[in-house]
Amino acid sequence: MTVVFDCAVWFASLCFVLAMLCALLRLFRGPSAQDRILALDTFYINGMLSLLMLGIRSTSTVYFEMALLIALFGFVSSVALAKFLLRGEVIEP
């Protein structure tokens, strides 16, 4: 990797970690449940992007597969939480 690319990857990783800290703060202090769900969405997206940056740095495919799993489970959990907030139950009888 070139020096500029290496510095860009480190800077992006630092930005994603800072964004995760901000989302974690909103997750614990959020005034409503909708704010907490949005913070959880932001948290898992930034976690996924951090794993992608780690995969780019180490040139390993394992990080990309973990990021794909995080994206999949994060989407499903977001839909389930949104449905729970709207109707009060996730699985309808």
Helices (H), ranges, 1-93: 3-29, 33-58, 62-87
User: 43 is written with which tokens?
Assistant: 């948290």
Judge whether 54 lies within some domain.
yes
Sign for the pseudo-dihedral over CA of 71, 76, 81, 82: positive
Sign for the pseudo-dihedral over CA of 31, 34, 40, 42: negative
pLDDT band at residue 1 under the 50/70/90 scheme:
low
Domain at 50, CATH number: 1.10.287
| Number of domains forming the structure of the chain | 1
- Tens of pLDDT, residue by residue over 45-85, are 999 999 999 998 888 889 999 999 999 999 999 888 888 88
| Residue ranges making up the domain that contains 41 | 3-87
- Tens of pLDDT, residue by residue over 20-44, are 999 999 999 988 888 888 999 999 9
Judge whether 92 lies within some domain.
no
Please give the residue that has the higher pLDDT: either 54 or 92: 54
Judge whether 93 lies within some domain.
no
Judge whether 9 lies within some domain.
yes
User: 88 is written with which tokens?
Assistant: 């009060």
Judge whether 48 lies within some domain.
yes
- Record the pTM: 0.82
